[in-house]
Structure formats: C-alpha cells, structure tokens
Structure 1
Amino acid sequence: MIQYPNVVDGCFLRYEEEHPSFRPYTGLIMHAAGPVPDADQVRAQVAARIERMPTLAWRVLKRGGRTVWELDPHFDPHTHVHEVRLDESTSLDEAIDDLLCLPMPKQSPRWAIWLIHGYSDDEYVLFYRSHHAAQDGQAMMDTLTALFGTQKWITPPAATSAPADRRPWWQRIPVRAALQNLKEQVEALRPTLAWSPQRPPTGKARVQSASVPMGWLRETGKALGASSNDICLAALAHAMRQWMPEQWIAPGQRGRDLHVCLPVSLREPEERFMVGNRLSAARIPLSFWEDSTPARVTAISRATAPAKTEETRRVLRAQLRLPEWLVYRILQQSTGSRNGLDVTGLVRLPEQLAIGSDPIDKVVVAQFLHDDHVMGVAFLAYEDKCVVSVTADHALDDAGNLAFMWASAVKDMWQHHTAASSHETTQVPQTLT
C-alpha cells in the first residue's frame, strides 16, 4: 500500500505538540454481559484479525517538520491490548476519562484497547481509543468491524493512492474550491450562541448516553422529509432548549443561533482502508430558538443538504490540497474558539460485534474535551438502536441528563409527526451507562 499523509493528519499532530492540553483522541465503549474473558483471549482475537485492518500496523509522526506514515517494524498487536480491574473506589466513568486522556506513545501506531472490569458483577467493557491524526470516524467503525465483527469477512481491495502532485499548491486548487473555502471562513466568523456554565471547567468528564429505536428516526424523517441525521440534530436543538439554564446564556445572546461543526466523510470506496483522515466539516445552524418542529427540521435539512451532494464533496476534497500551514490556521481557529458545539454526524456500525462468543450489547462514543469545549455530542447507530452520547465536563452536572432529554425529544417527534398508528409502541428511551 502507498500511504501518503493527509494534510489533516499533520495538523492534528502539530496542534497537539504546540498545545499539550489538547489531545485529539476518541474512544468507543463496548459493553458486554457475562463473565469477564481472559485478557489473553482478547489479545488473541485482535492478533488473529489484525490482517483485516492492516493500517493498524502503521504509525504517523513528524520527521523534520514533515508528516510521514510508515509501517512500524516492531509492531505487535498483543502490546496494544491492556487490562484494567477497577476497585470499589473507581467508577467506570472515571476510568474511561483517565484512559481517554492518557498521552499516546509517538513511536508506535496510535491506538489501544482496554479490557475493563470489576465495576459490575453483570458486565464488562472493551474500550477502544485512537488518535484523530491516525483515524477518522469511518476508520474507527471499520476497525471495530474488522476486529470484533460477527459476519463473514470479505477481504477489501488493496488501498492505493495516486502519486503525489508536485505542482505548486495554488495550481492544484480549483478556483471554486478556493472561493468556497473563503466563503466558509467568513461564515465561521459570524457569531454563534455563547453559553457557559456558572463554574469553570473541572478538567474531568463523564459520558451520559441514551438510545432510541432507529425506526423512530427513519419514520419521523420520512414524515418530515428529512434524513435520520437531520432528525438527530433537530432533537438535539429541542433538548438543549430544555436542558440549558437561562442564566448560562450570555447577555444579548437571545435570538442568536447555535451552530455545530458537522464532520463530512470524504472517503472514496477505494480509500476505505487507507490510513489517516478523509474528512472535512460543515458549519450547521440548529434553528435553536425555533418552536415549530417542522420548521426547525426543514431549516436543518436545508443547511445539511449541500454537504450531501457529490459536487460539495469534490470541493471539500480539493480544499484538502491546501498547504498544511493554511489548514493548520483553520484548525487553530476552530479549536481555539467557542464554535457552538462539537457534534459528530450519525455514523453506523454495520454488523453485530462480539468478543469470542459474547455479543457486544451497546457501543457508546467518548470524546476528549479541551480548553473551553466543555461538551461533545455523538450519534451512533448499532443494531436497531441509535445511541446518543454526551461527553460533558463535571461543571455541567447540575443541568441534568441531556442524553435522556434528547431521547425523549426523538420520541415526542415520532409520536406527533408519524401518522401510522400501527407503529405505536410502549418502548421508552433507555438510559445507558
């Protein structure tokens, strides 16, 4: 495989080096019921399947100011699987937060798995963590599917990459892409709703999560002419209106919209198993103050529609040909400012996962928080459920359970905007831990 770095990979590495408090890590918490397996059993399963995801043996690092990808000559998948037994004084939330924030070794592939147990007599957890310079969200989903999927594995075609274009960057960027990038940077300067808790961030976080049937999202989206992802965002706006105390909103902010920075996957089929990032982002207003659900959904659908077109994807891919120093300035702006809310799009795990013969019942996303970014929200579809996870600093503890409020908002939207009464059910949102 020819592995060229993506400009985003280098930006995340540089920003972490220059801002030690910033660690762009993401984790996936896999809950399983039953007796705890031996850690060597987990190591054996990972090692036996590592060839399904060969990019896990590659490492990304800076050499003389350049970003390079190279195969780790000493790679041993067994050393990337660890075990943690918790005592009565440590909760699972605390353990996840501590592990998520651990610095990653620079000279090895930037991912790890922990078998966590002792916090419950009924279940245990596998916690997968990776560096954003090494994997985007789609790559993380592919990793879990490769290592723990239960369906027959079909070997993907070898990843390839075109030779690097040696022309100056200003000759490689289409005019439309440059103009679109300028337009987006101007829009990013427009103010978003400023809010903050009444006490400073503690630096410690917990993950709240809740689930709803995927059918609720699909049926509501069909009734309102929107995608499941749009319904997730509309429910989030509604839930945050209920969740956020009025005194958290800065003076003079009422009426100002709340924006989210929504990732957009740019992976082509032939790039499915390539290293690094193949994504960009779109800034989306949530119609935060809108009281009408149909009007809010319509506005969100209109805002997300351009990001779903192939033309926009081509423009965004062209923007990734910009020089690293310029993309780095954009990253600094987005991470250094309070740009509304950090949110993922609705990503999917395509099949059931298992550890040996133990099925994985729930998968929850955990996000690293930094500086003034006190909360992140993620949506994940697994089996027939959509799970929302809210990674929040303890400074937000007094505001209530936003994840459960989101699930309740989805249920209300489904009940009020789907006419098919035959789909009525007594299911209620499930709070996950």
Structure 2
Amino acid sequence: MTDTSTGAGGLARHSMPRLGPVDRELSRRDRPLATGFFIDFAGPAPATEDVRRRVLARATGLPALHVTLSPDGRAWQRTPRVDDVGVHVRHRTGISGVAELERLTSHLLRAPLPGDGHSAWDMWLLSGYGPQRFRIAFRVDHAQLDGVGAAHTALGLLADTPCAGPRLLEPSSPSIAGFVHLARDLTRSLHPARVRHHAAACPGGQVRFAHAQLNEEEVRARADILGVNVNDACLAALALALGAWQKRCLAGMRRRDIPAFVPMSTRQAHERYAAGNRLAAYRLLLPCTAGTLAEAADQVRRQTTAARNCRRRESGRAALNYLPLPLGLAGTRLLSHPTRVPVVASSITFPEAPVCFGARPVGASMFCDLRTGSLGYMSFTRVAGTVRCGVAFDARNPGLQAVPDDWSDICRSGT
C-alpha cells in the first residue's frame, strides 16, 4: 500500500535517481538556481531551537536534502547526515515592518545557498514585524527539486501532523497527439520571442519579488463568469496585466503577446520526496493584446485544454524518460530558453492548509530566481482559501512591480 501522506509519518527510503535532462539544464550555472516557497503564518513565531530540532529530526528521512552534484555535474552523490543545522536553519528576528520583510524576501531570491559539501537548501524563519505573524522561506537548488517536490519536502519538514500536499500524477499512457503537441512547441521555440524588454535578468543582478493576494472564492466567481477554471482565469488576468506593463513601460513599442513556459508536474506517488525534477512543460502564448478579460480567458482556455486533452503532461514525461540524454537535454534547453519564452508561469495548489508550530498559513508564494535573459518568474499559489500572484523580476525593470496589483484589480473588476 502506498503512503500518500506528507510530514514525518509519510517519510520513506528512496533510491538515488539519475540526473535527468531537466536537472542537467538547471545545474548549468556557476551557482544554484534557488526555488521554493515563502509561507506566511498567523500566530506567534516559534522558537529558533524548536525549528532546528524539528528540521534535524525530519531531514534525515527526506532524500533530496542529502544530495549534491558530483564534481563533473553528471550524477547525484549523497551528503552526510544533516547534523549542522546551523547551515540549513536560519532565523532573522527584529524585522521592523512589512517593508523590511519584503526587502529581505527579495534578497533571499539570490542569496547564496549552502555549499562547501552541504546540500544546497535552507530554511529561514522571519519574524518581528508583527505580534502574530511570521514568514518561513524554504529554499532549495532547483536542480535538486521541482516545485511539487519542494512543496512535499517542505511539508515533511514543517507540518505539525501529516497533511495532503499538491496533487501527484496518476500513472497514465502518453499519446501520439501529445508528442505532436510537443514537436509543435519545439518548432515554435526555434524563433526568439518578439516582445522586447529593457532589462532582461543578468548574472549578478538584483532580483525583486512582488505579490498580491485574493480570496480563492472571489477568483472562482470570476472564473465561473468567464466559463473557465481558476488557473485559466489567473493566466488571463496576468496576460492583461503584462499588456498594461507594456503600455506603461515600453513606450513607442507595439504591445505583443508573450510566450510563457508553463511547467507541469509529472511527479508520482513513489517519487514524492525523490531528488531531481519530475516535470514537463508546454508553451503558452499569453494574450497580452486581448481587448477584454473574456477574450483573454477564451484564448488561454483553448491552449490549456489542448495541452490537457492530448495528454501533454504524460507525453512529456515519457519523452524525457526514454529519449537519449543528449536529445532530452537539447529539447529541454530549446523549450525553456529565456529568449524563446521570456516568462515562466507556474501554479501550485495545497489542498490542505498545513498547521506548522501551531500556526495556520494565511498565504504563500512559490518562487524561483531568474535565469539569465528572463523577463520574470510568475506564480499562482493556492493555500487556505487564498490565491497569491507572485512575480520575481530584475530590479532594473521596476515597472513589473505593479503586475501583481494589476492582476488583482483585473480579477476583481473583470476588465
């Protein structure tokens, strides 16, 4: 019987996975690409020692927290037991207010992850900015974990009791239509995106993070009016928000639709905590030039429905599993290249609100540092009846700061 819970009760031993094409592509950097979650809680902040004690006790059963890349970057190798939690667990207290909290959160997007033989992950407890508020940041090298894997691992470290994490993929067969859909995306990715932006992310540059949050019921009501699901409504509103950004900040240039890289988790139950990435992706053209939200939603719905109906997720998993590594790596590199898809648009849902150290979550953001040449990483995270739009962007492109608020306004107004 497969244990489908998260938290300490669902931990099990896993064999070491091979380094797959996505892992190889994400590890081609001079420093790890950080991904993970910023989770806000309502309640008194836990003591640093309580967090360290829990992390130390549980990290031993989470295999992705015990790996590093081999010197040649071709394989995973195990690290010793996580004993030095001072490397992996940090506490910043005395934060003066929300403005300082957000500055520190942005700093963590690109702050170095543990190295020197330590597995590249850490957890930050951020407190002091409110009497009954604290934020936890869980960061990990994206080569070690994808978003769904990071979510299950974070729950395994933090949750007071086991609770359901993001949906895991039920085994299913790929389809010829799915492979054709993938081939079309690869062909379209041969051409650079036509949208121009002043400041694509550059190595060593500063990255900022902005977010806005709505009640999920409010977004669902808007989605029902539009005849789409919540995720499609979020993507449509994001497209219009990016259209507004182009109008404000790209003076003298035509607004253009923006190709987005949309990750899809292919992680299955037996891979819940496994190291490495289990994901496929497809190319979605964000309709930034649409005249109305209804028009944008219709264009998004047609694309997401086509990807779903052809079983693109399952076909992508099969392609990456069975193609020779050089072909899988070349396809991954082409489909995800920032000059071809300037935006990453990701989404994740926590079906249960995890209680951590006696506190309940009031919102969360999935995040990822920017790859060189990227316009932005944009995510929709659903937890505890909320939907949060998060945007990571290069500090030299400050106009993107307004995108989450514009997204919120568009969802609310429907225009």
TM-score category (smaller protein): 0.7 to 0.9
Alpha-carbon distance between aligned partners in 1 of 2:307 and 2:342, rounded to the nearest angstrom: 19
The 3 A distance-change label for structure 1 pair 65 and 74 is: same
Residue matched to 1:409: 410
Residue matched to 2:20: 7
Alpha-carbon distance between aligned partners in 2 of 1:57 and 1:261, rounded to the nearest angstrom: 27
Residue matched to 2:351: 350
Residue matched to 1:30: 39
Alpha-carbon distance between aligned partners in 1 of 2:84 and 2:309, rounded to the nearest angstrom: 39
Instruction: Pick the aligned partner of 1:96 from 96, 102, 105.
Output: 105
- TM alignment of 1:101-250, pairs within 5 A: 101=110, 102-105=112-115, 107-119=117-129, 123-152=133-162, 180-197=181-198, 203-246=205-248, 248=250
Report the 3-state secondary structure (helix = DSSP H, G, I; strand = E; otherwise coil) of the residue aligned with 1:305: helix
The 3 A distance-change label for structure 1 pair 239 and 279 is: same
Alpha-carbon distance between aligned partners in 1 of 2:289 and 2:365, rounded to the nearest angstrom: 29
Alpha carbons 2:201, 2:371 under 8 Å: kept: no
Report the 3-state secondary structure (helix = DSSP H, G, I; strand = E; otherwise coil) of the residue aligned with 2:396: helix
- Supply the AA of the counterpart residue of 1:123: R
Residue matched to 2:262: 262
Q: CA deviation at 1:141?
A: 1.6
Q: CA deviation at 1:81?
A: 1.2
- Supply the AA of the counterpart residue of 1:115: L
Q: CA deviation at 1:400?
A: 5.3
The structure number with the bigger radius of gyration is 1
Alpha-carbon distance between aligned partners in 2 of 1:354 and 1:372, rounded to the nearest angstrom: 38
What TM-score do you get using the length of structure 2 for normalisation? 0.81
Residue matched to 2:90: 82
Report the 3-state secondary structure (helix = DSSP H, G, I; strand = E; otherwise coil) of the residue aligned with 1:115: strand
Q: CA deviation at 1:368?
A: 0.7
Report the 3-state secondary structure (helix = DSSP H, G, I; strand = E; otherwise coil) of the residue aligned with 2:345: strand
Alpha carbons 2:363, 2:386 under 8 Å: kept: no
Q: What do residues 146-179 of structure 1 show as CA deviations (whole Å, max 9, x unaligned)? A: 2233554589xxxxx9xxxxxxxxxxx9987765
- TM alignment of 1:321-336, pairs within 5 A: 321-333=322-334, 334-336=336-338
Alpha carbons 1:117, 1:123 under 8 Å: kept: yes
Alpha carbons 2:262, 2:284 under 8 Å: kept: yes
Q: CA deviation at 1:250?
A: 7.2
Report the 3-state secondary structure (helix = DSSP H, G, I; strand = E; otherwise coil) of the residue aligned with 1:195: coil
- TM alignment of 1:315-326, pairs within 5 A: 315-320=315-320, 321-326=322-327
Residue matched to 2:288: 288
Q: What do residues 353-412 of structure 1 show as CA deviations (whole Å, max 9, x unaligned)? A: 344223333322332123332422110001011011112222232565211111111112
Alpha-carbon distance between aligned partners in 1 of 2:160 and 2:236, rounded to the nearest angstrom: 33
What TM-score do you get using the length of structure 1 for normalisation? 0.78
- Work out the percentage of aligned pairs sharing the same amino acid: 22
How big is the alpha-carbon RMSD for the aligned residues of Structure 1 and Structure 2? 3.3
- TM alignment of 1:297-312, pairs within 5 A: 297-309=297-309, 311-312=311-312
Residue matched to 2:271: 271
Residue matched to 2:5: none
The 3 A distance-change label for structure 1 pair 330 and 93 is: farther
Structure 2 gaps of 5+ residues are: 1-13, 166-170
Q: CA deviation at 1:11?
A: 1.3
Q: CA deviation at 1:96?
A: 2.7
Alpha carbons 1:42, 1:355 under 8 Å: kept: no
Alpha-carbon distance between aligned partners in 2 of 1:310 and 1:204, rounded to the nearest angstrom: 39
Alpha-carbon distance between aligned partners in 2 of 1:87 and 1:270, rounded to the nearest angstrom: 40
Q: How many residues align?
A: 389
Instruction: Pick the aligned partner of 1:73 from 72, 80, 83.
Output: 80
The 3 A distance-change label for structure 1 pair 37 and 283 is: same
Alpha-carbon distance between aligned partners in 2 of 1:290 and 1:220, rounded to the nearest angstrom: 17
The 3 A distance-change label for structure 1 pair 302 and 14 is: same
- Supply the AA of the counterpart residue of 1:228: V
Residue matched to 1:59: 67
Q: CA deviation at 1:308?
A: 2.1
Alpha carbons 1:239, 1:406 under 8 Å: kept: yes
Q: CA deviation at 1:100?
A: 2.9
Residue matched to 1:46: 55
Report the 3-state secondary structure (helix = DSSP H, G, I; strand = E; otherwise coil) of the residue aligned with 2:392: strand
Report the 3-state secondary structure (helix = DSSP H, G, I; strand = E; otherwise coil) of the residue aligned with 2:81: coil
Alpha carbons 2:381, 2:388 under 8 Å: kept: yes
Structure 1 gaps of 5+ residues are: 156-160, 162-172, 417-433
- Supply the AA of the counterpart residue of 1:284: L
Report the 3-state secondary structure (helix = DSSP H, G, I; strand = E; otherwise coil) of the residue aligned with 2:275: coil
Residue matched to 1:337: 339
- Supply the AA of the counterpart residue of 1:359: R
The 3 A distance-change label for structure 1 pair 29 and 199 is: closer
Q: What do residues 34-72 of structure 1 show as CA deviations (whole Å, max 9, x unaligned)? A: 544321111122234446x522443141355532353x3
Q: What do residues 187-226 of structure 1 show as CA deviations (whole Å, max 9, x unaligned)? A: 1134534131379978222221111111123233333332
The 3 A distance-change label for structure 1 pair 6 and 65 is: closer
Alpha-carbon distance between aligned partners in 1 of 2:57 and 2:201, rounded to the nearest angstrom: 46
- Supply the AA of the counterpart residue of 2:20: V
Q: 226-235 vs 109-118, which deviates more?
A: 109-118
Alpha-carbon distance between aligned partners in 2 of 1:153 and 1:174, rounded to the nearest angstrom: 33
Q: What do residues 74-100 of structure 1 show as CA deviations (whole Å, max 9, x unaligned)? A: 333734212234676993333233333
Q: CA deviation at 1:184?
A: 2.1
Q: 122-131 vs 298-307, which deviates more?
A: 122-131
The 3 A distance-change label for structure 1 pair 152 and 314 is: closer
Alpha-carbon distance between aligned partners in 1 of 2:251 and 2:18, rounded to the nearest angstrom: 41
